[in-house]
C-alpha cells in the first residue's frame, strides 16, 4: 500500500515558475525515442571496400584496424555479407601493383583491369547491390597524383579529364551503377556525363566528390592503397580547408554539369559545409566519414579511452544531423549490426 507521504514523479514542484520543462520529454527511453529528431538507418550507409589481385587472401590495414584489402574471391563473400546485413551500396577502391602503374594511369581504363573484373563479378554474385566506382588517377599513377603531371610538376587539368572520361566509360561498361569522380579536376562531371550519355549509359549516375578538401585525415586511406603522392601535395586541386563559400561554388558547378549525388569529404571537420550544401540543393548529399576519422575512434577504443559503440553512433548521427542523406563509412557493417531490426 502506498503511503500518503510517498513521492512520485507526478508530485507538485515547489517551483511554480517553470511551465516549460524540456526534461519531460527525456524522462524515459521510450519517450526519448518517440521525439528523436534524427534517425540513423542502415539505408543511409555506403561501405567502402578495398580490392587487390590474387586469390583467397586478405590483408589487414595496419592504420585501419578491422579493415582489409581483399582478393576478388574474398571480396565477393564480403559483399554478400554486407548485402545480407541490409547495406544497399558499396564503394570500390583498387590496390594496383606497382608494375601496372605509369605516368598517365593507362591501367585505369583497361577493360580487363582489376576494377572492371571486380565490378562484373559483383554484378553476377550480388546483382541487387549498388556498386559505386572511384574515378581518379592516383591508385593507377606512378607518381600518386590524381592528374596527369607536366614535366615541370604541374597537374594538368584537361588531359586528366580525358583519362577520367575513359575510366568512367570502362566502369560503366563493366556494370557500375554510380561512377564517383574524386579527383577535383574542373569540368570533369560535365565531360563524364556527356560521354556516358553519348555511349548509351544514360542510367549510370554520377556521385561527385564536389567539395573534397586537401585534408590531413586521408593518411590511412593512402596506406590502404599505397597511393600517397611521390612529390608535393594535392593542394592545387583539392580544396583549402579554410574555405566554405568556395564549396558552394563547386557544388553549383557540379549540379549544372549533371551530378546526381553531391559529396563532401571529409565529414567531421566539415559538418558546417554539409549543412550549407544541404540547404543549397535538393539533390542527395553524401558525406565521407574518412579513414583518419575511423582510425582515431579505433585507436582510442583500443586503449579503453572511449566506448566505441556509443562514439560510432554519435559520430554518424552527427553527420546525418548536419544534413547528409548518405554516409560512406568503414563502420557500416558494425552499425548495421547495432541498429534495431538488423
235 and 214 Cβ atoms separated by less than 8 Å = yes
Residue 147's alpha-carbon distances to 158, 258, 328, in angstroms, are 9, 22, 24
**Backbone phi, psi, residue 122, to 5°:** -65, -40
Residue 258's alpha-carbon distances to 21, 168, 180, 205, 278, in angstroms, are 48, 14, 13, 9, 17
CB count in 10 Å sphere of residue 38: 10
Task: Give strand pairing partners of 179.
Answer: 133, 206
Does 265 qualify as catalytic in the annotation?
yes
d(CA 180, CA 120): 17
Task: Name 283's Cβ contacts closer than 8 Å, sequence gap at least 6.
Answer: 255, 259, 260, 261, 262
The active-site residue out of 12, 77, 100, 212 is 212
63 and 220 Cβ atoms separated by less than 8 Å = yes
d(CA 29, CA 39): 15
Residue whose C-alpha cell reads 605509369 in the numeric block: 102
The active-site residue out of 101, 234, 265, 320 is 265
d(CA 140, CA 98): 8
Side-chain-side CA neighbours of residue 185 (13 Å): 30
The cell numbers describing 241, all together, are 580547408
Does 100 qualify as catalytic in the annotation?
no
- Among all residues, which ones are annotated catalytic? 212, 265
Amino acid at each position: 500500500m502506498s503511503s500518503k507521504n510517498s513521492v512520485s514523479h507526478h508530485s507538485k514542484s515547489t517551483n511554480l515558475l517553470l511551465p516549460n520543462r524540456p526534461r519531460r520529454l527525456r524522462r524515459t527511453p521510450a519517450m526519448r525515442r518517440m521525439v528523436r529528431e534524427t534517425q540513423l538507418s542502415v539505408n543511409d550507409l555506403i561501405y567502402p571496400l578495398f580490392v587487390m589481385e590474387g586469390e583467397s587472401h586478405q590483408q589487414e590495414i595496419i592504420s585501419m584496424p578491422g579493415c582489409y584489402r581483399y582478393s576478388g574471391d574474398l571480396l565477393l563473400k564480403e559483399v554478400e555479407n554486407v548485402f545480407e546485413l541490409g547495406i544497399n551500396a558499396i564503394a570500390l577502391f583498387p590496390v594496383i601493383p606497382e608494375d601496372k602503374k605509369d605516368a598517365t594511369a593507362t591501367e585505369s581504363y583497361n577493360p580487363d583491369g582489376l576494377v572492371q573484373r571486380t565490378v562484373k563479378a559483383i554484378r553476377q554474385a550480388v546483382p541487387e547491390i549498388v556498386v559505386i566506382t572511384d574515378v581518379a588517377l592516383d591508385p593507377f599513377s606512378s607518381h600518386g597524383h590524381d592528374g596527369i603531371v607536366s614535366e615541370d610538376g604541374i597537374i594538368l587539368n584537361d588531359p586528366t579529364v580525358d583519362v577520367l572520361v575513359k575510366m568512367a566509360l570502362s566502369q560503366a561498361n563493366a556494370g557500375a551503377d554510380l561512377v564517383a569522380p574524386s579527383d577535383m579536376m574542373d569540368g570533369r562531371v560535365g565531360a563524364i556525363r556527356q560521354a556516358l550519355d553519348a555511349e548509351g549509359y544514360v542510367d549510370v549516375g554520377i556521385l561527385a566528390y564536389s567539395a573534397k578538401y586537401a585534408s590531413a585525415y586521408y593518411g590511412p586511406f593512402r596506406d590502404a592503397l599505397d597511393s600517397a603522392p611521390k612529390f608535393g601535395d594535392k593542394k592545387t586541386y583539392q580544396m583549402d580547408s579554410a574555405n566554405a563559400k568556395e564549396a558552394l561554388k563547386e557544388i553549383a558547378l557540379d549540379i549544372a554539369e549533371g551530378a546526381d549525388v553531391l559529396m563532401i569529404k571529409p565529414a567531421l571537420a566539415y559538418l558546417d559545409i554539409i549543412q550549407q550544401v544541404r540547404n543549397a540543393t535538393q539533390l542527395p548529399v553524401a558525406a565521407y566519414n574518412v579513414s583518419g576519422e575511423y582510425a582515431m575512434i579505433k585507436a582510442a577504443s583500443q586503449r579503453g579511452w572511449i566506448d566505441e559503440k556509443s562514439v560510432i553512433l554519435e559520430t554518424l548521427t552527427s553527420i546525418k544531423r548536419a544534413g547528409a542523406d548518405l554516409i560512406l563509412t568503414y563502420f557500416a557493417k558494425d552499425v548495421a549490426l547495432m541498429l534495431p531490426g538488423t
